[in-house]
């Protein structure tokens, strides 16, 4: 408090009026409080740094840095809840179930739904996802991860999500110390003559988000983390930035021969070395298996799919909103190639793969999960026994494994 000494004599002048004394004391106390507070701020870079680091490290919490993880499925599929709860427990995750439905009244469909004649299964999937979105809106969750109940992931999911968060930030957060300048020159949308650039997560930085590890909640709607194939955005799309955030040398990515791009294209395999994962704006083909959604995103999708109109099956409508087509307002959707979440196909009758889609009468005699190396579900026996000798479904150098359809 040495710097106050210059003014000290005044405060000890005994001839001051009592009111002046009161005022002087008040000023002193106020000055002290302000000094302490500002001192607190100026002394806090270290503290602020840790709080920022903590936000990224929130991806390691029980809800992967979102406010909740919601799992959609029919209560009757107890088999799926058993294995989902096990997978979550072994991954240090906390999930909440949202009941799927097997009945939808035609009266509840948004405009176009009845005329479009969307069939039973697609309709049930739509309603289940709308129920999840509505819960997020009603509970005012800042963000949530929504999973279908047969989804699988890698034992290292938390570390993967940290890399995803670092990459996502490069595409949505402004550069350090700026408000509206971005790393990607095609942000917010490219001109016809611009091409894409790849940005290595280890070579770039942005300003830190303040309310979500994945970028400020106001800057993204949907993170499409589990899908059945996608492509990178093209300059000819015109309406989304082309930037790609690249995670190189990621051991959790299977080598090219093992990757199944499903309904997407193979640009990832042609343009990047093995063990690379890339985040970009989403141009997903199909499947809304797993996505994280922000509060603004949940409101947007509930409006678009639940209120505005029903033009197609659920996952196709998700795609329309992310693509900004079909008279839908464009959402900010990011995706990962290869994806982090995938259907798991257990041993058993293929009919059990889905309650809403027909997978035929065949029998699947070998459990599998595409594109996931240390599958949690395929490692249940190891996890239960405490063995860290995990089964790698796609060892480096191994030959391509063929899976049945479905
Ligand atoms: C996880 O982190 C997110 C983001 O900071 C936060 O909203 C959420 O409450 C945290 N969840 C848990 C279970 O700690
Ligand atoms: C609901 O609409 C579909 C498609 O138009 C139709 O096949 C079905 O019979 C309708 N169901 C009821 C209960 O009206
Ligand atoms: C919802 O959450 C936001 C941000 O956390 C907050 O500003 C808003 O007041 C909340 N709304 C309600 C109705 O609680
Ligand atoms: C790890 O598991 C593999 C395959 O299950 C087995 O061949 C190998 O001997 C095991 N290694 C150790 C150290 O237990």
The pLDDT of residue 70 is 98
Please identify which residue in the block is written with the tokens 């479905």: 406
Ligand 1 site, residue 24, Cβ cutoff 6 A: no
- Spacing, Cα 391 to ligand 4 middle (Å): 9
The average pLDDT across 101-108 equals 95
Ligand 2 site, residue 103, Cβ cutoff 6 A: no
Residue 29 has pLDDT above 70, yes or no: no
> What tokens does 269 get?
């395999």
Ligand 1 site, residue 61, Cβ cutoff 6 A: yes
The average pLDDT across 56-72 equals 98
The pLDDT of residue 349 is 84
Q: Which residue has the higher pLDDT, 360 or 60?
A: 60
Cα angle at 63 between 95 and 380, to 5 degrees? 60
The pLDDT of residue 271 is 97
- Spacing, Cα 374 to ligand 4 middle (Å): 14
Give the confidence band of 192 by pLDDT, cuts at 50, 70, 90: confident
Residue 300 has pLDDT above 50, yes or no: yes
pLDDT averaged over every residue in the chain = 88
The pLDDT of residue 93 is 98
The average pLDDT across 340-350 equals 91
Burial (CB count <10 Å: 0-12, 13-18, 19+), residue 90: middle
3-state helix/strand/coil string of 92-148: CCCCEEEECCCCCCHHHCCCCHHHHCCCHHHHHHHHHHHHHHHHHHHCCCCEEEEEE
**Spatial separation of the C-alpha atoms in residues 112 and 41, rounded to whole Å:** 56
Residue 182 has pLDDT above 50, yes or no: yes
Q: Which residue has the higher pLDDT, 217 or 366?
A: 217
CA 5, chain centre distance (Å): 55
Residue 404 has pLDDT above 80, yes or no: no
Q: Which residue has the higher pLDDT, 111 or 50?
A: 111
Ligand 1 atom at minimal distance to the Cα of residue 62: 13
Of the candidate ranges 46-55, 317-326, 335-344, the one whose mean pLDDT is the lowest: 46-55
Residue 140 has pLDDT above 60, yes or no: yes
Q: What angle, 0 to 180 degrees and rounded to 10, lies between the N-to-C axes of helices 45-57 and 157-172? A: 120
Ligand 2 site, residue 106, Cβ cutoff 6 A: yes
Q: What angle, 0 to 180 degrees and rounded to 10, lies between the N-to-C axes of helices 120-138 and 314-323? A: 60
Residue 237 has pLDDT above 70, yes or no: yes
| DSSP single-letter state for residue 247 | E
Closest CA to 189 of 321, 281, 267: 281
The average pLDDT across 79-85 equals 97
Ligand 2 site, residue 45, Cβ cutoff 6 A: no
The pLDDT of residue 34 is 45
CA atoms within 13 A on the CB side of 294: 19
- In this predicted model, what pLDDT tens digit does every residue of 261-296 receive, in sequence order? 999 999 999 999 999 999 999 999 988 899 999 999
The pLDDT of residue 406 is 60
| Torsion sign, CA atoms 292, 296, 300, 302 | positive
Of the candidate ranges 75-79, 344-348, 378-382, the one whose mean pLDDT is the lowest: 344-348
Q: Which residue has the higher pLDDT, 375 or 2?
A: 375
Residue 43 has pLDDT above 60, yes or no: no
Residue 47 has pLDDT above 70, yes or no: no
- Determine which residue's CA is closest to atom 3 belonging to ligand 3: 140
The pLDDT of residue 8 is 36
The average pLDDT across 37-63 equals 62
The average pLDDT across 332-339 equals 97
Ligand 1 site, residue 295, Cβ cutoff 6 A: no
Ligand 1 atom at minimal distance to the Cα of residue 64: 1
Classified as helix, coil or strand, 311 is coil
Ligand 1 site, residue 306, Cβ cutoff 6 A: no
The average pLDDT across 44-72 equals 79
Mutation to probe ligand 1, out of 52, 56, 57, 67 (largest number of atoms < 8 A from CB): 67
Contacts of 254 (CB under 8 A, 6+ apart): 338, 371, 373, 393, 394
Residue 227 has pLDDT above 90, yes or no: yes
- Determine which residue's CA is closest to atom 4 belonging to ligand 3: 142
Ligand 2 site, residue 114, Cβ cutoff 6 A: yes
Ligand 2 site, residue 117, Cβ cutoff 6 A: yes
Give the confidence band of 326 by pLDDT, cuts at 50, 70, 90: very high
């Amino acid at each position: 408090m040495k710097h106050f000494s210059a003014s000290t004599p005044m405060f000890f002048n005994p001839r001051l009026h009592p009111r002046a004394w009161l005022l002087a004391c008040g000023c002193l106390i106020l000055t002290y409080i302000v000094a302490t507070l500002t001192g607190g701020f100026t002394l806090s870079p270290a503290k602020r740094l840790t709080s920022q680091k903590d936000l990224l490290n929130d991806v390691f919490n029980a809800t992967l840095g979102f406010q909740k993880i919601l799992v959609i499925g029919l209560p009757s599929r107890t088999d799926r809840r058993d294995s989902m709860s096990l997978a979550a427990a072994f991954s240090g995750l906390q999930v909440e179930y949202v009941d799927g439905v097997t009945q939808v009244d035609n009266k509840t469909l948004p405009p176009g739904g009845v005329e479009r004649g969307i069939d039973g299964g697609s309709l049930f999937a739509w309603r289940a996802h709308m129920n999840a979105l509505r819960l997020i809106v009603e509970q005012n969750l800042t963000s949530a991860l929504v999973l279908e109940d047969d989804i699988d992931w890698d034992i290292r999911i938390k570390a993967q999500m940290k890399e995803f968060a670092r990459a996502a930030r490069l595409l949505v957060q402004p550069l350090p110390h700026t408000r509206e300048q971005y790393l990607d020159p095609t942000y917010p949308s490219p001109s016809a003559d611009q091409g894409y650039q790849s940005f290595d997560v280890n070579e770039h930085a942005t300003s830190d988000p303040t309310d979500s590890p994945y970028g400020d909640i106001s800057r993204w709607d949907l993170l499409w983390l589990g899908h059945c194939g996608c492509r990178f955005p093209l300059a000819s799309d015109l309406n989304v930035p082309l930037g790609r955030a690249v995670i190189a040398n990621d051991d959790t990515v299977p080598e090219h021969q093992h990757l199944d791009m499903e309904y997407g294209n193979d640009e990832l395999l042609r343009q990047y070395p093995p063990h690379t994962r890339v985040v970009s704006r989403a141009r997903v083909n199909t499947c809304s298996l797993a996505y994280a959604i922000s509060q603004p995103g949940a409101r947007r999708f509930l409006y678009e799919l639940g209120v505005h109109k029903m033009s197609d099956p659920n996952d196709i409508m998700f795609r329309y909103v992310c693509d900004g087509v079909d008279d839908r307002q464009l959402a900010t959707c990011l995706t990962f190639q290869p994806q982090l979440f995938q259907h798991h196909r257990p041993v058993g009758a293929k009919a059990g793969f889905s309650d809403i889609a027909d997978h035929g009468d065949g029998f699947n005699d070998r459990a599998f999960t595409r594109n996931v190396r240390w599958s949690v579900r395929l490692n249940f026996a190891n996890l239960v026994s405490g063995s860290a000798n995990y089964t790698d479904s796609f060892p480096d150098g191994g030959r391509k494994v063929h899976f049945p359809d479905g």
